[in-house]
Amino acid sequence: MSKLIKPKDYKALLDLRQTEQGIKLIKEFFQLNLSTELRLRRVTAPLFVLKGLGINDDLNGVERPVTFPIKDLGDARAEVVHSLAKWKRLTLAEYHVENGYGVYTDMNAIRADEELDNLHSLYVDQWDWEAVISREQRTLSFLKSVVERIYAAILRTEYLVCETYPQIKPFLPEKIHFIHSEDLLQMYPDKSPKEREDAICEKYGAVFIIGIGGKLSNGEKHDGRAPDYDDWSTMAENGKPGLNGDILIWYPILGRSFELSSMGIRVDKESLLKQLALENKEDRKTLYFHERLLSDQLPLSIGGGIGQSRLCMVLLHKGHVGEIQASIWPEDMRKECEKLGMPLI
């Protein structure tokens, strides 16, 4: 409960019926725009994968996946996915997707260790996407161009929502600002990473923070990233490491920064080996996913995830993600949210 943000003078602009209609509108329109912008085709995704293959997303390396035994496989254990960061790259290879094209999917996950608040739920739903790129496209400039196309799709979706529901007013800026996590540290040396995100997002409205996963000049990471999907160690054109990052916006209803997407150019063979060594995870080299990557059986790619409930929450001006999705919440949080005018589904 201590993490619950209580928006001042909050009033939901849509009732439950309008909210459900708005969710449907956003999800259908945005995924069509995303697939058109990035030339993606929809594929069917798993809810769980076999344990021990190195396919599941390890997030920060401390979150416990939900596991269960499979009777017909001799009680071999399956893991409910955290995300599909590595599974998508295997899919690109299996579908023989050509350079410049990719896939997207509806990803549903359970993150049992999530700390519950206005933005974080046990249930995670996002558009997971992945596209094949060339060696020459493994650059910061190419990453930025993809970010701008995704942000353009978000802006078009915001426009449609505001046209459909005139009581909702647009607030996202026309342009997204780019900054490296090291430059952000130098700008706000006395702030924590979260405070730095708040400060830069309040200043620009929409920001892509580059280079998340590696240590900064103060010896700390801006945030954790697994070593085996995003490339956060390769030097980009600006002389700083990092070919990945997060799309964040300033969300005035909660008075804080708000992450909509984590994405990046994926590791190649060299950066995978480097990052596994940096994180003392070299034992992973023998896992199925890692062996295929190290034996050049997987294409170079770029990819990420875009929160579905989060995007709907922002564009429908909601104060809690539980107003968008059905999940489990502490009873005292439900009661408090009811009092604040943001009843949880």
Which residue in 137, 257, 262, 275 is the catalytic one?
262
Please indicate whether residue 297 is annotated as part of the active site.
Answer: no
Q: Rounded to whole angstroms, what are the CA distances from 323 to 14, 310, 313, 344?
A: 11, 10, 8, 5
Catalytic choice (35, 57, 79, 117):
57
SS3 labels along 22-79: HHHHHHHHHHHHHHHHHCEEECCCCCEEECCCCCCCCCCCCCCCCEEEEHHHCCEEEE
**Angle between helix 16-38 and 140-164 (nearest 10):** 150
Distances (CA, A) of 219 to 74, 79, 215, 277: 46, 33, 5, 17
Mark whether 262 is an active-site residue: yes
Is 98 part of the annotated catalytic residue set?
no
The yes-or-no answer on residue 308 being catalytic is no
- Examine the residue annotation and report whether 111 is marked as an active-site residue of this protein: yes
Catalytic residue among 246, 268, 310, 327: 246
User: Which one of the listed residues 106, 202, 223, 259 is annotated catalytic?
Assistant: 259
Q: Tally Cβ neighbours within 10 Å of residue 136.
A: 8
Catalytic residue among 31, 35, 83, 126: 126
Catalytic residue selected from 89, 111, 225, 266: 111
Active site includes 225?
A: no
The CA distance from 232 to 245, in Å, is 9
Task: Please list the active-site residues.
Answer: 57, 111, 126, 246, 259, 262
